[in-house]
């Protein structure tokens, strides 16, 4: 059986990791290669780089970042943020990314997902969905970094993206993100039960039990983690050890 | 010199880096002349069977690959590059290289426990002793990303198997031909060890 994946997510701005790894008295400099190597050595199953650059130059820098990371880190690498065209996807894959994560552009131009999956294969197209609860059992898709509501239902959207050829869904709960109070397990399960492709849960992890809950009850195939890892509140090895003890298959 | 065949989309940069890390000279190639010139051929692969085969034909390199394999040149097919060795796939109507007998089947499951694509790290059980596996423990996790899996007719060539609802051949070796369904270039240190073993060529002796 395939192992549940633990995936650190790093924000990159104009070529530098922001809000990166912090030890008590030591802060890593913003070098993406250093961060990627650290997590790869610690046992990360994949890495996600989220480009939050505000400029065109910043976006171009991301290509170099990917290339430098791919030269020394040999685990799967996903890049998200600002991807709008087939050319954007191709540039990143050529530089050494394995997958791209597409959020806003998927809503604005769903054919990008269809074309991307056809040209590069479903396995490299991740559709990122930011969902916000609007009523009992109902979640709405938000775009533009969670700022703009779309009126689209998250579950329906997930199914549509699977039909269009997405290979994975990266699902973030806007309500829980940053709270460290646990995942929106209900949302994760609803989506995971509606599609056959893997679902990566994101937003809300604060302790080990949260991870177990979203994997067991939420049916997540992977979990995406950011500040909880960067601030060393949890480490990948502690997480994996805990999950293994609880009967979850992990790669150790 | 190692030739890594470029036939369209996908991340071949990691394969190139994974080979170069051992000080091996490696180039990305896309012509039949280069296929003939290099000493070792790696056919990486992400994407679809039909598109892959079409791209290889358009670049007139499919014949050169078959010829060189038949002449005994060491060959490694990764993921789709492995599946293309078979005569056909359930993924489309294009014929493959027809170098290995068998077929390529689609994963089909009733239970949602097994999602498609088979995406992530899974164990490879070694069922044959192979120099390719030197310094790699049995049942090591490797990285997979695929929806189709190869079913070789000749069971004697199967060197490693992986269980994902169905037990499938994740490593085969026949003479100078090696096929792996996982991605060594994305499987961390053990993936690199696999590359090293392949490049050193002790498995050929």
Reported ipTM: the value is: 0.95
Task: List the single residue in A with minimal CA-CA distance to B193.
Answer: A74
Residue A63 lies in a domain: yes
Element (H, E) at B27: strand B26-29
Could you say which of B117, B121, B122 has the minimum Cβ distance to residue A122?
A: B117
Q: In whole angstroms, what is the distance from residue B194 CA to residue A161 CA?
A: 36
Cβ contact A120–B9 (<8 Å): yes
Two tokens at B109? 């499951």
| Chain A residue with the nearest C-alpha to that of B80 | A121
pLDDT band at B157; cut points 50, 70, 90: very high
CATH number, domain with residue A165:
3.20.20.70
> Quick check: is A251 in a domain?
no
Cα–Cα distance for residue pair A247/A179, rounded to 1 Å: 27
In this prediction, residue B111 carries a pLDDT of 83
User: Nearest 5 degrees, angle CA A181-CA A187-CA A193?
Assistant: 135
Residues B141, A75: contact at Cβ < 8 Å? no
Cβ atoms of A159 and A197 within 8 Å: the answer is no
Beta bridge partners of A51: A12
Residue B190 is encoded by which pair of tokens?
A: 């053990």
pLDDT at residue number A227: 92
- What are the residues facing A8 on neighbouring strands? A225
Q: What pLDDT, on the 0 to 100 scale, is given for residue B108? A: 95
Residue A178: inside a domain:
yes
Q: Least CA distance to B118: which residue of chain A?
A: A2
Nearest to B9 among A40, A70, A90 (CB): A90
- Among A72, A76, A219, whose Cβ lies nearest the Cβ of B143? A76
Provide the angle, in degrees to the nearest 10, between the axes of the packed helices A154-164 and A185-194: 40
A64 CB within 8 Å of a chain B CB: no
CA distance linking residue A169 with residue A190, whole number of Å: 12
d(CA A38, CA A190): 34
> Chain B within 8 Å of A172 (Cβ-Cβ)?
no
Chain B residue numbers touching A118 (CB-CB < 8 A): 48, 51
Which residues from B are below 8 Å from A222, CB to CB? 120
Query: How far does chain B reach from its first CA to its final CA, in angstroms?
Result: 19
Residue A250: inside a domain: no
Query: Chain B: residue nearest A167 by CA?
Result: B117
A45 close to B (CB below 8 A): yes
Binary contact (A2, B191; C-beta < 8 A): no
Nearest-CA neighbor of A248 among A200, A198, A203, A214? A214
Reading the block at residue B65, the tokens are 């690959």
Rg for chain A, CA atoms, rounded: 17
Distance, in angstroms, between B10 CA and closest chain A CA? 6
Distance of CA A42 to the CA centre of its chain: 18
Q: How far is CA A182 from CA A58, A88, A119, A229, A236, in A?
A: 33, 34, 37, 15, 17
* E strand or H helix at B152: strand B148-152
Give the residue numbers of A marked as catalytic. 11, 130
In order of A78, A92, A112, A123, B17, the CA distances from A95 in angstroms are 12, 5, 20, 17, 11
Sign of the torsion angle spanned by Cα atoms B179, B48, A200, A104: positive
Q: In this complex, how many residue pairs, one in chain A and one in chain B, have their CB atoms less than 8 Å apart?
A: 112
pLDDT at B7 > cutoff 70: yes
Give the structural domain span for A103. 5-245
A144-161 pLDDT tens trace: 999 999 999 999 999 999
The pLDDT tens digits for B109-131 are 988 889 999 999 999 999 999 99
SS (H, E, C) chain A: CCCCEEEEEEEEECCEEECCCECCCCECCCCHHHHHHHHHHHCCCCEEEEECCCCHHHHHHHHHHHHHHHHHCCCCEEEECCCCCHHHHHHHHHHCCCEEEECHHHHHCCHHHHHHHHHHCHHHEEEEEEEEEEECCEEEEEECCCCEEEEEEHHHHHHHHHHHCCCEEEEEECCCCCCCCCCCHHHHHHHHHHCCCCEEEECCCCCHHHHHHHHHCCCCCEEEECHHHHCCCCCHHHHHHHHHHCCCCCCC
- Residue A95: its chain B contacts at CB < 8 A? 13
**Residue A214, in any domain of the structure:** yes
Going by C-alpha positions, the residue among A87, A115, A96, A116 that lies closest to residue A47 is: A96
Query: Domains (ranges, CATH) in chain B?
Result: 2-204 (3.40.50.880)
DSSP label at residue B89: B
What is the nearest CA distance from B183 to chain A, expressed in angstroms? 9
- Domains held by chain A: number: 1
**What average pLDDT does chain B have?**
94
Q: What is the pTM of this model?
A: 0.96
* Residues A204-252 pLDDT 10s: 999 999 999 999 999 999 999 999 999 999 999 999 999 999 999 999 9
Residue A252 belongs to a domain: no
Is A75 part of any domain? Answer: yes
Q: List, as ranges, residues 135-164 from A with C-beta within 8 Å of B.
A: none
Task: Please report which confidence band the pLDDT of residue B9 belongs to, taking 50, 70 and 90 as the band edges.
Answer: low
Among candidates A193, A191, A185, A246, which has minimal Cα distance to A213?
A: A185
Of A117, A63, A54, which is closest to residue A88 (Cα–Cα)? A63
Q: Tens digits of per-residue pLDDT, B175-190?
A: 999 999 999 999 999 9
With a cut of 70, say whether residue B35 has pLDDT above it. Answer: yes
The structure tokens 């090591």 sit at: B140
pLDDT, position B46: 75
């Amino acid at each position: 059986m395939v192992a549940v994946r633990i995936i650190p997510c790093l924000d990159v701005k104009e070529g530098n990791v922001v809000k990166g790894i912090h030890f008590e008295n030591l802060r890593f400099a913003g070098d993406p290669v250093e961060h990627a190597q650290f997590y790869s050595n610690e046992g990360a199953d994949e890495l996600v780089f989220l480009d939050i650059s505000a400029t065109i130059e910043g976006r171009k820098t991301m290509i170099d970042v990917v290339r430098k990371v791919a030269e020394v880190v040999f685990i799967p690498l996903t890049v998200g943020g600002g991807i709008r065209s087939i050319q954007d996807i191709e540039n990143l894959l050529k530089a050494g990314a394995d997958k791209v994560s597409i959020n806003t552009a998927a809503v604005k131009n769903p054919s990008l997902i269809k074309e991307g999956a056809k040209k590069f294969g479903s396995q490299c197209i991740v559709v990122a969905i930011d969902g916000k609860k609007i009523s009992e059992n109902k979640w709405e898709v938000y775009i533009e970094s969670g700022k703009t509501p779309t009126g689209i239902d998250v579950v329906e959207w997930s199914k549509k993206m699977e039909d269009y050829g997405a290979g994975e869904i990266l699902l973030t709960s806007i309500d829980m993100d940053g709270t460290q109070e646990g995942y929106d397990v209900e949302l994760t399960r609803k989506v995971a039960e509606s599609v056959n492709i893997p679902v990566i849960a994101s937003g809300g992890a604060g302790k080990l039990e949260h991870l177990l809950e979203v994997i067991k009850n939420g049916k997540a195939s992977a979990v995406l983690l950011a500040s909880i890892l960067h601030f060393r509140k949890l480490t990948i090895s502690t997480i994996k050890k805990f999950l293994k003890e609880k009967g979850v298959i992990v790669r150790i | 010199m190692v030739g890594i065949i470029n036939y369209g989309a996908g991340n071949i940069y990691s394969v190139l880096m994974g080979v170069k890390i051992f000080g091996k000279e490696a180039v990305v190639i896309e012509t039949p002349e280069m296929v003939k010139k290099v000493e070792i051929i790696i056919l990486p692969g992400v994407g679809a069977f039909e598109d892959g085969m079409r791209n290889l034909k358009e670049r007139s390199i499919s014949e050169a690959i078959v010829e060189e394999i038949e002449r005994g040149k060491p060959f490694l097919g990764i993921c789709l590059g492995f599946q293309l060795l078979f005569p056909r796939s359930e993924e489309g109507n294009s014929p493959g290289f027809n170098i290995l007998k068998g077929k390529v089947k689609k994963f089909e499951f009733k239970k949602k426990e097994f999602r498609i694509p088979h995406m992530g790290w899974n164990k490879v059980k070694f069922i044959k002793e192979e120099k390719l596996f030197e310094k790699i423990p049995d049942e090591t996790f490797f990285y997979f990303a695929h929806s189709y899996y190869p079913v070789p007719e000749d069971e004697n060539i199967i060197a490693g198997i992986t269980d994902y609802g169905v037990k499938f051949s994740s490593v085969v070796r026949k003479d100078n031909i090696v096929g792996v369904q996982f991605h060594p270039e994305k499987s961390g240190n053990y993936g690199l060890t696999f590359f090293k073993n392949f490049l050193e060529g002790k498995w050929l002796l």
